[in-house]
């Protein structure tokens, strides 16, 4: 091995705004995404807090019914299209995929920058609905026809936002697929790739293949609104169920765009903090591909009460249960990895364990929704809202923040206050349970979703839920404050503070512009062969 | 300072040159299929469903010809052909499920 002089880090290179917003460095683009995504997450969270405040008591507290509809639509659009879908791939995928593969950038750096600019343009469109026309869309983030065709609110601009954001997602997926196929460092076969890269690979295929479908569907909404073409509105010869088919052909696989990278992160964190070779590497890797594949065949389970035919519903219900198999394979393997490991309970591990806990509740309540007969009762109730938030926020959201804690020392070269991170995690976790578990309960009691008002018998669980939202927001703000303090005043982080053995830990913290001062060494026995990890 | 360029593709890029004769033959085939599409739409006026089904089949054939020759799928490794087959399988599943839904409502 050749000894080399350390190069300056990517943070110490060119200065100034333009050096960032026109950068081709994957790490800087990742940080552009990070700051934008965190900002939109906070906007979405504020809208969520407003909704919970309105639901503190029955009847009108704060906003008019239409305003409430617009708030939950904007909350959904921002959280889905501007936070969860891009979050892990765009931030941590962009930053760490080339590092983990031992290369110096993604395959198409200019396309990568274009993705970010498209993201910004889509975000501008989404936020512009606030000030143009008759205000933000009031359809829900699903833009269901025929209401989305008829409402006077700013649906056209909102769906154009989703359309543009879709292109950003497609380009990121394309970039990652080519990077994984063509730019792995010499000696790294597919079965030597870290599991986060496997998760991104499976995700990228969904981004590439499913996203165009939603693009076309949303354009059809615009065509119907602007030109009156009868596609989905039955009064002019359209079929609203066709819209739901086309919407969910994308949007169910999109759930796996959100979940698979999160599962990849858990697969990174657990072996590092158990200091143990991951149990069932190939099973976890291939189950990512299986989830991505099966995920294409289950979209109809969102439509059991839509008027879709019985035989089609039965087929979709059966296929839905198949997705549980590869998901369970992952969970069992993660737990088996922890068994007899040298467990070091640090904040990233806490987030990973919270992911497993929340995702189990989200997954098992998903089986209730996937069962035809049970779904008739819980469809369009708060049970679905609770299930969805357990999977997306409890799963992907926790994994996102877990990844932020795991890789923060590598990204910035600084260490955060572990004690404060633990405390903010505890408050965040408790707030989360108080916020969303009562939704499962009131949902089973029959409280419908998407209403600004409710019957008095649902009052107590709604109070608990609203108080939970305040606790959750406190935990999140503490966590962000802790990380910001670490950025400004944190101690310098070592190259490998958690004793990880994937390639990103072989370079300095923060990494140099071209990622590695010397060629990274690939472990021939696999990316998680921990035998000598403590010697590093 | 050691200069490391890790941005090196793992797979060697292979070259191939298609003859003009082949490309023009495929182009002529595409023109003929376009004419056929017009003929189908004017001939099968008694059954719109049949005309649409035939037009879709012709369009699919044209798409395959474009992918195979003009987009060079013919010269790609078998792995990439399988990728296209998987995508076509997914699309077929979408169409089958929509058809089942429509005909059993």
A216: enclosing H helix or E strand: helix A195-227
What's this model's pTM, rounded to 2 decimal places?
0.91
Based on the domain organization, do B60 and B93 belong to the same domain? no
Structure tokens at A174: 């394309």
Domain annotation covers residue B33: yes
Reference B7, options A98, A53, A138, A39; nearest CA is A98
Q: Tokens 């904040």 appear where?
A: A347
Each residue's pLDDT tens digit, A261-287: 999 999 999 999 999 999 999 999 999
Based on the domain organization, do B59 and B81 belong to the same domain? no
Give the pLDDT band (50/70/90) at residue B7: low
Q: Which residues of B touch A209 (CB under 8 A)?
A: 87, 90
Structure tokens at A120: 């910004």
Based on the domain organization, do B64 and B90 belong to the same domain? no
Q: Which residues of B touch A315 (CB under 8 A)?
A: 97, 100
Stretch A62-71: mean pLDDT, rounded? 93
A167: enclosing H helix or E strand: helix A155-182
Stretch A472-486: mean pLDDT, rounded? 98
Interchain CB distance below 8 Å, A518 and B2? yes
Q: How many residues does chain A have?
A: 536
Interchain CB distance below 8 Å, B100 and A517? no
Q: Is A448 helix (H, G, I), strand (E, B) or coil?
A: strand
How many separate domains does chain B show? Answer: 2
Each residue's pLDDT tens digit, A88-127: 999 999 999 999 999 999 999 999 999 999 999 999 999 9
Based on the domain organization, do B29 and B63 belong to the same domain? yes
Domain annotation covers residue B6: no
Residue B84 pLDDT > 50: yes
What is the structure's pLDDT at A181?
93
d(CA A108, CA A203): 18
Stretch A33-44: mean pLDDT, rounded? 97
**Best residue of A208, A309, A521 to probe chain B, by most B CBs closer than 10 Å:** A309
Q: Tokens 């996203």 appear where?
A: A211
Of A13-17, A76-80, A453-457, minimum mean pLDDT range: A13-17
Reference A125, options A86, A95, A80, A155; nearest CA is A155
- Identify the CATH class of A23-535: mainly alpha
What is the structure's pLDDT at A84?
95
Q: Which residues of B touch A185 (CB under 8 A)?
A: 6
Each residue's pLDDT tens digit, A287-326: 999 999 999 999 999 999 999 999 999 999 999 999 999 9
Based on the domain organization, do B64 and B89 belong to the same domain? no
Instruction: Report the mean per-residue pLDDT for chain A.
Output: 94
Q: Which residues of A touch B103 (CB under 8 A)?
A: 309
Structure tokens at B2: 């050691």
**Best residue of A170, A182, A205 to probe chain B, by most B CBs closer than 10 Å:** A182
Based on the domain organization, do B26 and B64 belong to the same domain? yes
Based on the domain organization, do B52 and B81 belong to the same domain? no
Q: Which of A7, A185, A311 sits opposite B100 (nearest CB)?
A: A311
What is the structure's pLDDT at A383?
97
The nearest CA of chain B is from the CA of A185 a distance in Å of 7
Interchain CB distance below 8 Å, A103 and B87? no
Reference A502, options A267, A329, A338; nearest CA is A267
Each residue's pLDDT tens digit, A409-420: 999 999 999 999
B97/A contact by beta carbon, under 8 A: yes
B54: enclosing H helix or E strand: helix B48-65
Residue B4 pLDDT > 60: no
Residue A536 pLDDT > 50: no
Residue B83 pLDDT > 90: no
The nearest CA of chain A is from the CA of B25 a distance in Å of 31
Q: For residue B85, give its domain range.
A: 75-105
Based on the domain organization, do B67 and B81 belong to the same domain? no
**Best residue of B6, B86, B97, B99 to probe chain A, by most A CBs closer than 10 Å:** B6
Name, in order, each residue with C-beta under 8 angstroms of A375's C-beta and a sequence gap of 6 or more: A301, A304, A305, A368, A369
On whether the CB atoms of residues A181 and A204 are closer than 8 A, the answer is no
What is the structure's pLDDT at A525?
84
What is the structure's pLDDT at A315?
94
The nearest CA of chain B is from the CA of A164 a distance in Å of 23
What is the structure's pLDDT at A535?
43
Residue A174 pLDDT > 70: yes
Q: Is A225 helix (H, G, I), strand (E, B) or coil?
A: helix
Instruction: List alpha helices for A343-458, DSSP H.
Output: 347-370, 372-378, 382-391, 398-412, 418-445
d(CA A236, CA A270): 55
Task: Give the ipTM of the model, two decimals please.
Answer: 0.81
Domain segments of chain A as ranges: 23-535
B28/A contact by beta carbon, under 8 A: no
Domain annotation covers residue B10: no
Based on the domain organization, do B79 and B93 belong to the same domain? yes
Based on the domain organization, do B29 and B58 belong to the same domain? yes
Based on the domain organization, do B24 and B57 belong to the same domain? yes
Based on the domain organization, do B65 and B23 belong to the same domain? yes
């Amino acid at each position: 091995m050749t000894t080399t002089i350390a190069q300056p880090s990517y943070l110490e290179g060119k200065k100034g705004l333009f050096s960032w917003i026109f950068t081709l460095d994957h790490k800087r683009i990742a940080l552009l995404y990070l700051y934008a995504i965190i900002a939109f997450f906070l906007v979405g969270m504020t809208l969520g807090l407003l909704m919970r405040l309105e639901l503190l008591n029955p009847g009108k507290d704060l906003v008019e019914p239409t305003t409430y509809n617009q708030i939950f639509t904007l909350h959904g659009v921002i959280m889905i299209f501007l936070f969860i879908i891009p979050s892990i791939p765009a931030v941590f995928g962009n930053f760490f995929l080339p590092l983990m593969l031992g290369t110096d950038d993604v395959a198409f750096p200019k396309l990568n920058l274009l993705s970010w600019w498209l993201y910004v343009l889509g975000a501008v469109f989404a936020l512009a609905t606030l000030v143009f026309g008759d205000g933000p869309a009031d359809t829900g983030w699903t833009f269901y026809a025929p209401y989305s065709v008829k409402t006077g609110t700013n649906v056209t601009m909102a769906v154009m936002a989703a359309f543009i954001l879709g292109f950003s997602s497609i380009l990121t997926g394309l970039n990652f697929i080519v990077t994984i196929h063509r730019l792995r460092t010499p000696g790294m076969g597919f079965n030597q790739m870290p599991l986060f890269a496997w998760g991104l690979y499976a995700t990228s295929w969904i981004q590439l293949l499913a996203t165009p479908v939603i693009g076309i569907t949303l354009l059809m909404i615009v065509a119907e609104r602007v030109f009156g073409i009868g596609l989905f509105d039955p009064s002019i010869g359209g079929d609203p169920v066709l819209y739901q088919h086309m919407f969910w052909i994308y949007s169910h696989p999109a759930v796996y765009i959100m979940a698979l990278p999160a599962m990849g992160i858990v697969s990174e964190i657990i072996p590092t903090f158990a200091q143990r070779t991951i149990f069932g590497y190939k099973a976890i890797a291939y189950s990512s591909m299986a989830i991505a594949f099966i995920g294409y065949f289950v979209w109809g389970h969102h439509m059991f009460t839509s008027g879709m035919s019985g035989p089609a519903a039965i087929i979709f219900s059966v296929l839905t249960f198949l997705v549980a198999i590869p998901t369970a394979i992952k969970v069992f393997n993660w737990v088996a990895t922890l068994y007899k490991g040298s467990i070091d309970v640090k904040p990233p591990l806490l987030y990973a364990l919270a992911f497993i806990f929340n995702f189990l509740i989200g997954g098992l309540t998903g089986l209730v929704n996937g069962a035809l007969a049970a779904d008739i009762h819980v469809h369009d109730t708060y049970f679905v809202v609770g299930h969805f938030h357990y999977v997306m926020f409890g799963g992907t959201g926790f994994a996102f923040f877990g990844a932020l804690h795991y890789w923060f020392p590598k990204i910035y070269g600084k260490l955060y206050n572990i004690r404060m991170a633990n405390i903010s995690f505890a408050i965040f976790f408790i707030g989360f349970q108080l916020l969303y578990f009562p939704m499962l309960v009131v949902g089973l009691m029959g409280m419908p979703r998407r209403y600004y008002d409710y019957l008095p018998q649902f009052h107590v669980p709604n109070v608990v839920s609203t108080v939970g939202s305040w606790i959750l927001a406190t935990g999140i703000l503490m966590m962000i404050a802790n990380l910001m303090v670490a950025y400004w005043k944190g101690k310098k982080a070592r190259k490998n503070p958690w004793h990880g053995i994937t390639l990103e830990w072989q370079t300095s913290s923060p990494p140099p512009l071209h990622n590695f001062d010397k060629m990274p060494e690939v472990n021939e026995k696999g990316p998680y062969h921990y035998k000598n990890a403590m010697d590093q | 300072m050691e200069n490391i360029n890790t941005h090196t593709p793992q797979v060697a890029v292979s070259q191939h040159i298609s003859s003009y004769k082949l490309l023009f033959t495929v182009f002529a085939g595409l023109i003929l299929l376009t004419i056929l599409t017009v003929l189908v739409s004017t001939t099968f006026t008694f059954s719109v469903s049949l005309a649409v089904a035939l037009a879709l089949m012709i369009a699919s054939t044209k798409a395959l010809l474009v992918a195979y020759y003009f987009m060079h799928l013919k010269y790609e490794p078998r792995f990439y052909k399988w990728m296209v087959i998987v995508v076509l399988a997914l699309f077929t599943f979408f169409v089958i499920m929509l058809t089942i839904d429509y005909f059993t409502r």
